[in-house]
């Protein structure tokens, strides 16, 4: 799928292409139940579609994965690893420098050419390169050799190759020593012992400042002593397993992923990813992209749920990497089979549950805790991550306006604010006015009619708040049902006693004044009142001062 400039914005596959294309442009794309508002954003940007026919599903998987890797479309899954590994680079210069570097999105190292060492974990390379290693081995930090010595030379951190205080051969001896401790754990261990001796001597001589510096240096060196060459794991007899847990965040409409690698029974690598649930983005697509971008494929892959494509994915991974791999879903059915009651199999199941619990905690941290409280107090069907609030503002029978404000995650989302000049009600009737602005805001055929067509990326709210009493609420609910979106939770907030009216309760609900959940409702109600009143005053000034 391409945009108006011919740029590829999405790549997908389908067994029945005509059905899939029609699904994007049918009226069902507006269906609230589909939770596909991000797909609607994609559809608004599509200007042309190209297609390629393959002989079977395996070829389709491979072609899709290759094209995504080549073109990097903005709406496809992009592997954004939340744990970025760092590398050290020794530059290819007459007097080499020591730099920190990382891979770019295509897996390449940019900048000055040089020898790459690593990767390292826990940010150890950054601390060591900037501080310890440069000082210990007198590595220059200037990007270009100056014409005279700098401060680094005078404080003893550099031997000043810029003014020939050290020869090229002597300087490179330091580089060789540096590379040796980075490449050889034994050499690094010897260097570590040497520093321990120096720390003890400094402490005995009451040179505590130097002793503390060496102590901190030793702490950082521990990371290098245990660093992993993660890209070279082709060891004879090597057995690796990878656990991949998936958990969807319905509020953000994206999938959170956690991967955990076990090598010979020892867990030693964990990463987190997330991708948008739009178009055909799926678990299968993620797995293809994940291993297509990786230099290593485990012997066994455990998934948190069955996807029905395990056999095909095994064939795809074999064609991609030449590695035989087995994919096993560790879902609730896993332990139901009689042969799965071995202790090590139960441990595997427990590891996956641990991953899912971590993902759940991670997702819960991404939203305001008071929204959970609000959902429980009012008996809402969904977490009210997106809340819309409606209010009517008029001045007698004239200048009647409506306002809709939007909160996301408990805070104002100004792009979701809308103002309405009442068009069809010429006398003071709050109920009919409320019906009009709700209909205009959520018209099923023209959702977002007050927004230009190319920017109609609205998402239905999880909760609608009406400023008013039970009558206003009943009007709003009836209007939503006429629009076919009556399943959205709707409440009203009466200002006098801050009573919350819900359709399921005959009596109003009083939320304690100190609850943050009530403060969120008050805030969005006050915002809608302010926003509507501001528009009302603007129209009055405009008439008096044309």
Domains of the chain: 86-225 (no CATH), 371-544 (3.30.420.340)
Q: Residues with Cβ < 8 Å from 218, sequence gap 6 or more?
A: 192, 195, 196, 199
Q: What pLDDT does residue 27 have?
A: 61
Tally the residues of the chain. 546
Which region among 130-134, 401-405, 524-528 has the lowest average model confidence (pLDDT)?
130-134
Task: Return the pLDDT at 163.
Answer: 87
d(CA 36, CA 40): 7
Please tell me the predicted confidence (pLDDT) of residue 349. Answer: 81
- Whether 125 has a pLDDT exceeding 50, the answer reads no
Q: Which of 49-53, 104-108, 266-270, 442-446 has the highest mean pLDDT?
A: 49-53
The per-residue pLDDT of the chain, averaged, comes to: 80
- The β-bridge relationship of strands 499-501 and 240-249 is unpaired
Distance CA 409, CA 369 (A): 9
Residue 234's pLDDT is: 34
**Percent of the chain beyond pLDDT 70?**
80
Tokens of 188: 């690094």
| pLDDT surpassing 60 at residue 105 | no
Q: Are 272 and 81 in contact (CB under 8 A)?
A: yes
Give the CA diameter of the chain: 93
Q: What is the C-alpha to C-alpha distance for residues 74 and 5, in angstroms, rounded to an integer? A: 14
Least confident of 229-243, 346-360, 463-477: 229-243
Q: What is the reported pLDDT for 108?
A: 67
The answer to which of 2-16, 452-466, 475-489 has the lowest mean pLDDT is 452-466
> Each residue of 261-299: b (16+ CB within 10 Å) or e?
bbbeeeeebebbbbbbbbbbbbbbbbbbbbbbbbebbbe
pLDDT higher at 227 or 534: 534
Angle at which helices 283-292 and 310-321 cross, to 10°: 20
> Is residue 529 pLDDT above 70, yes or no?
yes
Cα distance from N-terminal residue to C-terminal residue, the chain: 48
- In 19-81, beta strands by DSSP E: none
What span, in angstroms and rounded, lies between the C-alpha atoms of 8 and 46?
A: 9
pLDDT at 478 over 90: yes
pLDDT at 273 over 50: yes
In 3D, which of 354, 346, 433 has the Cα closest to residue 395? 433
Cβ(284)–Cβ(306) under 8 Å? no
Higher pLDDT, 530 or 295: 530
pLDDT score of 116: 81
Model confidence at 341: pLDDT above 80? no
Query: Higher confidence at residue 294 or residue 451?
Result: 294
Residue 229 has pLDDT above 50, yes or no: no
Q: What is the pTM of this model?
A: 0.50
The mean pLDDT value for 524-530 works out to 94
Better pLDDT: 520 or 22: 520
Strands in 254-263's sheet, in edge-to-edge order, are: 266-276, 254-263, 240-249, 300-303, 326-329
**Three-state DSSP class for residue 138:** coil
pLDDT for the residue numbered 109 = 73
E strands along 121-263, which residues?
A: 240-249, 254-263
From the DSSP assignment, how many helices (H) and strands (E) are in the chain?
Answer: 16, 16
pLDDT exceeds 60 at position 90: yes
Taking the CA atoms of residue 270, residue 273, residue 277 and residue 278 in that order, the dihedral angle to the nearest 10 degrees is -140
For the segment 286-291, the average pLDDT, to the nearest whole number, is 87
- In 3D space, the residue among 105, 100, 143, 108 whose CA is nearest the CA of residue 124 turns out to be 100
- Which tens digit of pLDDT belongs to each residue from 208-220? 888 887 787 777 6
Q: Is the pLDDT of residue 270 over 90?
A: no
Q: Average pLDDT for residues 29-52, to the nearest whole number?
A: 73
Q: What is the pLDDT of residue 477?
A: 94
Q: How far apart are alpha carbons 492 and 494 in whole angstroms?
A: 7
Write the CA distances from 273 to 21, 77, 82, integer angstroms: 28, 10, 6
């Amino acid at each position: 799928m391409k945009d108006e400039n011919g740029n590829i914005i999405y790549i997908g596959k389908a067994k029945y292409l005509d059905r899939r294309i029609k699904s994007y442009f049918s009226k069902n794309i507006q269906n609230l139940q589909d939770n596909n508002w991000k797909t609607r954003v994609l559809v608004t940007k599509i200007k042309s579609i190209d297609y390629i026919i393959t002989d079977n599903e395996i070829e389709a998987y491979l072609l899709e994965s290759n094209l995504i890797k080549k073109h990097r479309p903005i709406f496809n899954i992009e592997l954004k690893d939340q744990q970025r590994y760092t590398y050290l680079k020794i530059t290819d210069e007459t007097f080499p420098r020591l730099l920190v570097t990382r891979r770019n999105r295509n897996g390449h190292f940019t900048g000055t050419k040089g020898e790459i060492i690593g990767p390292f974990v826990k940010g150890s390379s950054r601390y060591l390169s900037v501080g310890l290693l440069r000082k210990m081995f007198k590595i220059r930090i200037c990007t270009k050799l100056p014409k005279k010595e700098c401060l680094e030379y005078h404080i003893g951190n550099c031997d000043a190759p810029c003014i020939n205080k050290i020869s090229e051969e002597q300087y490179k001896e330091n580089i060789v020593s540096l590379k040796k401790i980075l490449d050889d754990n034994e050499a690094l261990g010897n260097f570590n012992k040497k520093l321990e001796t120096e720390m003890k001597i400094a402490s005995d001589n009451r040179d505590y400042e130097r002793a503390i510096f060496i102590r901190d240096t030793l702490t950082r060196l521990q990371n290098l002593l245990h660093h992993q060459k993660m890209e070279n794991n082709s060891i004879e007899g090597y057995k690796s397993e990878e656990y991949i847990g998936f958990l969807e965040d319905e509020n953000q409409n994206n999938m959170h992923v956690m991967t955990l690698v076990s090598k010979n029974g020892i867990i030693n690598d964990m990463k987190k990813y997330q991708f948008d649930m739009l178009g055909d983005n799926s678990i299968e697509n993620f797995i293809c992209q994940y291993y297509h971008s990786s230099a290593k494929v485990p012997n066994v892959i455990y998934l948190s749920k069955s996807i029905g494509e395990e056999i095909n994915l095994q064939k795809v991974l074999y064609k991609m990497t030449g590695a035989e791999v087995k994919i096993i879903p560790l879902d609730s059915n896993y332990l139901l089979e009689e042969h799965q009651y071995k202790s090590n199999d139960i441990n595997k199941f427990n590891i996956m549950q641990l991953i899912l619990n971590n993902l759940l905690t991670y997702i819960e941290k991404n939203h305001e805790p008071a929204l959970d409280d609000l959902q429980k107090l009012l008996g809402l069907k969904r977490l009210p991550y997106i809340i819309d609030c409606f209010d009517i503002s008029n001045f007698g029978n004239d200048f009647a306006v409506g306002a809709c404000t939007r909160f996301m995650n408990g805070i104002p989302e100004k792009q979701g604010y809308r103002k309405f000049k009442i068009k069809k009600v010429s006398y003071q009737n709050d109920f009919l006015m409320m019906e009009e602005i709700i209909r205009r805001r959520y018209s099923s055929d023209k959702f977002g009619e007050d927004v230009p067509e190319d920017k109609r990326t609205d998402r239905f709210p999880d909760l609608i708040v009406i400023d008013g009493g039970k009558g206003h609420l009943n009007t709003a609910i009836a209007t939503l049902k006429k629009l076919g979106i009556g399943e959205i939770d709707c409440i009203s907030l009466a200002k006098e006693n801050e009573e919350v009216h819900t359709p399921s309760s005959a009596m109003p609900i009083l939320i304690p004044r100190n609850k943050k959940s009530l403060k969120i409702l008050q805030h969005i109600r006050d915002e809608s009142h302010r926003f509507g009143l501001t528009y009302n005053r603007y129209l009055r000034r405009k008439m008096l001062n044309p």
